[in-house]
Structure 1
Amino acid sequence: MAITIKDVAKKAGVSPSTVSRVIAEHPRISAKTSRRVKEVMDELGYHPNMMAKSLVSRTSRTIGVILPRPAEELLLNFFFYEFMRGVMAQLTRAGYDLLMAGGNNEREELETVTRLVRGGRIDGLLLLYSRASDPVISLLRKEDVPFLLVGRSLDYDDVPSVDNDNVQAAYDATKHLISQGQRRIGFVSGPAHLAMTQDRLAGYTKALTEAGLPFKQGWVVEGEFLLESGYRAMASIMNQPEPPTALVVIDDFVAFGVLKGLTELGYRIPEDVAIVSFNNIALSELTMPPITSVDIGTYQLGYTASQMLISTIQQDPVQQRQLIPHRLVVRESSLRTFSPV
């Protein structure tokens, strides 16, 4: 015979309506009562009908994550897995499920989000990118759907977001190279339309300007967040009459390609070319040589993003924009001291 709410209520010593409120995560139910009821539910093997619960509460207890295009590129980058580990830790703790979606182009992406939103399949959305004139953000604002942006909006000042201070992070990375005696410093960039790319380029430029060092357009190469992109960039940036002797690289995964390209061209790291990158993924310290990288708190970015979104969904007070601290992890790839030339 199936266990019912009445069975749970009787054993827990509460009313059936209290059990229903515990299942619905009602804020007025005390932690003690909620814990007791959930213990009884586990003991009796009672599992609430989540579909019926959703129909009554008009919530899905599901968070959507919209992957940037092309999603297959993101799935190749170890940053994504560490970020999603933080997201899942918070969602599991709060009793939410995860739904990942995307599209091959802007039209498909908008259609996907429209279907999820108007079909009531999600309570809120995490956007893993920040680009200008984004129709998805326009739709979410129009439909009054809770969402959170990982990054900085290029169009709105009031978009809830979690981010790093990417200007300062790139400034710190470039200053580190300058402190090692470097004077010809290049930048291996990400896609120019992304806010993160623009901010890191600004921090790099600021550090050069303060030190009285030249900014040369030929030392800045735009690419994607792929190993192959960093590899290809070396054929361009190092094939100049006066190539840079140090590089700030937008992402560790891209830096792996930079290492490969430089090695094939006969350059030694860090003796000939010093490298600083971003994200501090686990493999960064296993390369030859280990890569100096800016740790942006990737796990914390994911955890905080989902935590802020859930608070927004539950209409709790939440800080509009939160910055996750960064730190420079110095390894062998950048440690070269020499006299300026």
Structure 2
Amino acid sequence: MKGIRQLADYLDISIGTVSRALNGKPDVNDDTRRRVLEAAEKLGYVANQSGRSLRQGATNVIGLMTGSDTQAVENADNFFLGVTDGLQSVFSTHNLDLIVLPCPAEEDPDEYLKRMVARRMVDAMVISSTSRIDKRVDFLKQTRLPFVTLGRTGSSTDHAWIDLDFEGVARTAVARLAAAGHRSIAVAAPDTDINLGYIFLEGYRKGLEDASLPYDEKLIIRARSSEQGGYHAASEWLQMRPRPTALILIYELMAIGLYRRLAEVKLRAGQDLAVIGFREGPSGQFLEPRLTSFRMSLRDLGVSVGKTLLSTMPAYSSFYPQQPKHIVWPMQLIPGDSDITNLQSR
């Protein structure tokens, strides 16, 4: 393993130039940066991270704060595994490490974040499970710590964020069901203040308007983001009079509980109730009938989140000069059999 002095001697350039190239400084031309990075890989250069951190006041660590809500953990499924894979693929290119900071369920997320920042554990943050009014965003803006949110908030629009297209999913689901003849479409929405719920319900409302269908708050079922939440949603649907002919789920894991509850009363998705799920997840592949849902690449999402964050950091922004700061992540409808019902037989 070679140090920075040996790397500079090998390239016959100054140690300062090598250091600036390795750290992504904008005053190094692309050809020199390329030569330095290629030589570093060839010679097995390993930076003295502890010394560098002391000199630069940096940790070379990026934090990913996951939600304190137990529902967020329940709904995680493979979501964060896929996203972190994409994040790490970006950060490792710049010799940055990623640590996951799961806020305990019993702790206030605002206080948890403040403690992590006070300890100077990370150089930047990715925060998820954003609330309608999220104080963490205001705090990070005040501290000037670079950050990106995985999700939008209703209280800030001028920070970097990437969010799934919850509105688009809801409108597409309503349009598909309305085109099949459904006139009473219920929706299972979050029972928390998480912002995605507001966006999803707004898309649901617009979808109904597009289809010239009335909006009825009685058709909104509040439920947890888990299998248990889906079981609860099905139970609520069973008590409705008249029963809606279709139901849209905002969380992928809800479908498992919903299918079970329907089976208990000898009913079936795609026959007695048209069901459209949210993200196409691993567990949903084993449901029968196959769940109509929406597909996305978690790894690609993580890559985009990583690039967006680094584009806000002076040391790395030159690598991502065209990276947008606001992204609504598209999701593709994958038709299944869960939303096929014979309305004429009722």
* TM-score using structure 1 length: 0.89
**How far apart in 2 are the matches of 1:204 and 1:216?**
11
Tell me the equivalent position of 1:241. Answer: 241
Deviates more, 1:226-235 or 1:12-21: 12-21
Match of 1:26 in 2: 25
User: What's the CA shift string for 1:174-204, capped at 9, x where partnerless?
Assistant: 1111112222211111234122111111222
SS of 1:310's equivalent?
helix
Evaluate the alpha carbon distance shift between residue 161 and residue 73 of structure 1 in structure 2; reply closer, same or farther with a 3 A threshold: closer
The amino acid that maps onto 1:331 is G
Counterpart residue type for residue 73 of structure 2: L
Distance across 1 between alignment mates of 2:310 and 2:113? 18
Cα offsets for 1:231-263 (capped at 9, x unmatched) = 122112212232222110001111222122212
Q: How does 1:59-208 map to 2 (within 5 A)?
A: 59-70=58-69, 73-74=72-73, 76-104=76-104, 108-208=108-208
For this pair of structures, how many residues does the alignment match? 340
Greater Cα offset, 30-39 or 49-58: 30-39
Structure 1 residues 36 and 180 mapped into 2: Cα distance closer, same or farther (>3 Å)? same
Q: Distance in 2 between matches of 1:187 and 1:206?
A: 13
Aligned-residue CA RMSD (Å): 2.5
Q: Deviations over 1:137-177 (max 9, x none)?
A: 22111111111112221112323211233222201111111
User: What runs of 5+ residues in structure 1 fail to find an aligned partner?
Assistant: none
CA contact (8 A) 1:77 1:225 kept: no
Q: Which shifted more, 104-113 or 54-63? A: 104-113
Residue 260 and residue 30 in structure 1: after superposition, are their counterparts in 2 closer, same or farther (change >3 A)?
A: farther
Do residues 329 (structure 1) and 334 (structure 2) align? yes
Kept in 1, the 8 Å contact 2:68–2:108? The answer is no
Residue-by-residue CA offset, 1:197-245 (whole Å, 9 max, x unaligned): 1111122222223434344434321122211111122112212232222
CA apart distance, 1:49: 0.6
Displacement of 1:92 in angstroms is 2.4
Three-state SS of the structure 2 residue aligned to 1:111 is helix
Distance, in Å, in 2 between the alignment partners of 1:91 and 1:162 is 17
**1:69 and 1:148 mapped to 2: Cα distance?**
18
Residue 298 of structure 1 deviates from its aligned partner by 3.6
Counterparts of 1:39 and 1:159, CA distance in 2 = 34
Amino acid at match of 1:207: G
Give the match for residue 273 of structure 1. 273
Question: By how many angstroms is 1:291 displaced?
Answer: 0.8
Q: Which moved more, 1:2-11 or 1:260-269?
A: 2-11
Q: CA deviation at 1:105?
A: 5.3
Matches within 5 A, 1:308-319: 308-314=308-314, 315=317, 318-319=323-324
Deviation at 1:296, TM superposition (A): 4.7
How has the CA–CA distance of structure 1 residues 157 and 18 changed in structure 2, closer, same or farther, with 3 Å as cutoff? Answer: closer
Distance 1:293 1:11, change over 3 A: same
Q: How far apart, CA to CA, are the structure 1 residues paired with 2:9 and 2:118?
A: 39
- Stretch moving more, 317-326 or 260-269: 317-326
